[in-house]
Amino acid sequence: MADPITLEDVKRREDIKTYLARADRNMEAIGYTEHGFRHADIVAERARHIMEALGRGPREAELAAIAGYLHDVGNVANREEHGQIAVMISYSVLKEMGLPPNELADIMAGVGNHEEQYGDPFGPVAAAVIIADKSDVARSRVRDIHPSRYDEHDRVNYAAMSSALTVNHDRTIISLRLEIDTEISPIMEYFELFLDRMVMCRRAAKVLGCEFELVINGTKLL
């Protein structure tokens, strides 16, 4: 019996490397924040962490990490439908690698449902990917650091001095804790801009049997 496919196996694929690199260049061309290898690694790591912290099995945690790594690969072709394109790419690559259908189903749900416009947390893997993706708010995602050229997404990301995603010891609360420089972006701007994303995280946390909370500069906002 072949060894189970791991995230490291996926990351070694030359096609995936090429697609993610091109996807990030496409996002740069239209003025979006970083959506390349750094973001893929962060989402994979945080999706795995959520599953492990909640006591899910190691294989389910690995599948969440794989889905987290691949969730934005569809930007190689199109931004508007990138989640659905990512499903097709992920299915093709992982099926070729020999991933069994039950695991493919979990990963397709995770990859295809991370956008708040149409996504639903269809199971634990998808829920973990949603929360991991939406928690990646970081100064390093901003490509052009000149304030005169910021849009609101750049400003909020650049204002983020730190972000931490944690699960409490009772495994009942998933927390996103941010430290924001309010001289760059007021707290309310973050809350208004990302409210739909945070509501989606709340729905995802419920699938995992948890509540979701957003804490900015020590103040609980959600």
The CATH number of the domain holding residue 31 is 1.10.3210.10
In a domain, 167, yes or no: yes
The answer to whether the beta carbons of residues 163 and 136 sit under 8 Å apart is yes
Q: Could you tell me the residue range of the domain that residue 165 belongs to? A: 7-220
Asked if pLDDT for residue 151 goes beyond 70, the answer is no
Q: Is the pTM of this model over 0.85?
A: yes
In a domain, 83, yes or no: yes
The answer to whether the beta carbons of residues 200 and 162 sit under 8 Å apart is no
Kindly state the average pLDDT of the residues 196-218: 95
In the chain, how many domains are there? 1
In a domain, 1, yes or no: no
In a domain, 34, yes or no: yes
Q: What is the Cα Rg of the chain in Å? A: 17
Beta strands in the chain (DSSP E): 160-167, 173-180, 211-216, 219-220
Kindly state the average pLDDT of the residues 206-221: 94
Q: What percent of the chain has pLDDT over 70?
A: 96
The mean predicted confidence, pLDDT, of the chain is 92
In a domain, 2, yes or no: no
The answer to whether the beta carbons of residues 113 and 87 sit under 8 Å apart is no
pLDDT at site 60:
98
Q: Which one is predicted more confidently, 186 or 202?
A: 202
pLDDT confidence of 189, banded at 50, 70, 90?
confident
In a domain, 149, yes or no: yes
In a domain, 101, yes or no: yes
In a domain, 178, yes or no: yes
